[in-house]
Structure 1
Amino acid sequence: MPLIIVALGVVVLLILIMKFNMNTFISLVVVSFLVAMALGMPISDIVESIEGGMGGTLGDIALVFGLGAILGKLIADSGGAQRIAMTLIDKFGEKRIQWAVVAAGFVLGIALFFEVGLVLLIPIIYQIAKQLKIQFLWLGLPMATALSVTHAFLPPHPGPTVIAQEFDANVGLVLVYGIIIAIPTVIIAGPLFAKTARKMVPSAFEKEPSGSMASIGDAKEYKLEDTPGFGISAFTALFPVILMGSSTIITLIQESTGISNNLFFDFVAMIGSPTTVMLISVLFALYTMGVARKIPMKQLMKSAENAVAAIGMMLLILGAGGALKQVLIDGGVGDYVAQIFEGSTISPLILAWLIAALLRLAQGSATVAALTTAGLVIPLMQGTDVSLELMVLATGAGSIIASHVNDTGFWIIKESFGLTMKETFATWTVLETIISVCGLVFVLFLSLFV
């Protein structure tokens, strides 16, 4: 019954948005209330659950998104994004530019959270698309694929790192196997799928981007000699990667050598958190993209205000998506799915993927799906010689399948690229499913040798 309620909730949401043209934020809040009541949640707990879900989601991403949008806008408005775009075009040429974007997304994605990578790369992608007069989504979709794959499979991202801890797997091996799986997955779900998607939903590729994030990448054209140098532009864009990557390396060294926590490591952990990284990066960009080029602070702050204004409604939508997700979790949907697989004798790798996939479909959160799966399959692994590292990757693959309306990532992509609901389902939901299935297939293939 809980799964039927979830399905009906999704249908009601789609009707409100697509048939009655109701604002997405309002629709999500209305459906959250309806689903909570249908799941039989105590009346006194419903508002608390919705507020908690909204606050929890925005608490995680509001600062990161706000500061990331400001950083992206500063780089775009100064001409830095245009300089990076033109240099990449010169080096790779128009025919190979999509692969260059995928490679950039993959490298950045190893160190950066999905959301941070998106807000940093969108201004550059927008400028490349504008310069070459090619479709924004043609470059944007493969770039988002690279970020999503690294987020799902590669430590130090939260999902694979936490699952590895739960399974007591070797994080280093998870990273090695993850990269082996991630590279072919990115190629299949990125550039190759983009060709199919363009035939399936040409409208998504043909229209001019109108998403809130796309407006961050929109900036006036400069003569190339009037833009900042490529070195300083790229260094400013990569600064969050350098900070986050350095912090991660130091933390990994600490864990591998068994050094106990002290003030230095606490400071490194604070510097490496996404919020701190983005704040320091914005301050750095204010200097490199503004003060150093004698641009008045008033003008720089105007760019910052425009960036935050552009993502205001998007943040509300993401928060409401988090509210729906929390209602499903508090309503016990995940527990119901867990009961279905009790006492199953399927292969642990396939079982981990299946449970994580169903939990993901039902309640939206990839992290919750992964952690719940770990708790369920650990007892079933007793007496088997299955690789713990492959179990981590199988769980991670299942936990990102079929991103839809109860997943914050769905709304991020929809709003970032200015897509309709139908276009987001036909591109992003299908793409995430391809990543998930490819992940399972490559895990099963690796299991023949590991």
Structure 2
Amino acid sequence: MDSIFSEIDENASKSNKFWQKVKDISRTSNDIDQNSVFEGSLKLWNSDHEWLETFFSLTTTCIYYHENDCPVMFSSISWKTVTPFSEENGKETRFGFRISSRNYFQDFYTEDEEELEKWLIHLDGVSILSDFENDYSIIKEIGKGNYGTVFLAIENSTGDEFAVKSISKELIAKSKRGISAISNEINTMRKLNHPNIISLYKVYESATDIHMVFDYAADGNLREKIENNGPMSEDQAASFLENLLFAINYMHSQNIIHRDIKLENILFMSKEDPNDFKICDFGLACELEELSGSRCGTPGYIAPEILRKEKYDFKADIYSVGILLYHLLTGKSPFTGSSLGSKTVVLIQNRNNTINFKEQRLKSISKQGIDTIRKLTSNNPDNRPNAQEALEFPWISKSEQAPKKSSVSLFFKMSQKMKPLSQGVQSQPSQNKFANLFSRLKTLVT
């Protein structure tokens, strides 16, 4: 089957050539400054059959060709395939990598194998790869959805465990929104970098499938936690919700709405730390400007304005957080369907926002706790807080008895309090910048 990503690449670049001329030097310089991933010298074999060595910059979306210390050409790499190679010429072995789409490619040569590995490490997370079977071994199936299957896999080079979502290209092609949905999910995940949000490490395309490599959550999801352990105490729930809201606040600062916050989409990485969790499943997520107004989400968690087919924004996620908090404190949903047509009943209750705050199950919850649920699930989004405002609620911010947060959580908490997050797009720090900041913070808190 043809490459799905080549089709996406051609539609995105609107060009039939590998290289395009840099027209906006200011925008290009900003991309290199804000989103740099790696840089260095590479060799090209030019049309005159001569070696040309020049400087290249790699960002989260492009590779830039420099002349006289200035970027003059670029190629978008998000949907192009990277394939490493080695060549024997009788005297020596040459190492390099090919970046390709359906109709064009460019070969890049490195000084040696060590330099090739450096480039591949950084290209892995920003492009498409092709040799999944060589890099990973499937252990077992751990989940199944409409479009694909999730497996536990071992990375062959390290022995580390990852979750791999494998999606049939045939099913993607047959689905009306298949190609746009997969590209949207990958785009969204690549923009996010937060300790409480699942990480997408690599994307592979084979002849039949797309493979997406994520963090592996060894300790199940939040629904399983509640079913096995019962409701949380108010202190536990407040601490958990604070960390969840910091992650959602960060996500919204990147202009992304999740649209499917629910118990099943909160995964736990270990049994020891209740705050070591990650938000997952960004299949319905989108940027604010890309909202189609279509109804989406899981019945029982959907903001009423979505079900009423009204305009909605980031506060739709906050409503879902309020429903999730109700679950945390009671172990139940506020909406109860009958055995016959229960999903329809739940949807009607959800649309009408018929939450009974005088339920017996809420009798043991403090007035502040109930008030927090009430505000988060306000029927009118204008009366609902955004994530930053919710973090300032006394019931959430009290956390004196809450478990101590990790250095990583403290980093995001401090950075968000120092710079209040707006509803607009904010640039994501590069991996190197994040590592430096985290290192400095670790020195301060240890």
Bin of the TM-score, shorter chain as denominator length: under 0.3
Normalised TM-score (structure 2): 0.22
Normalised TM-score (structure 1): 0.22
Q: Which has the higher strand share?
A: 2
Q: Which has the higher helix share?
A: 1
Question: Which one has a bigger Cα radius of gyration?
Answer: 2
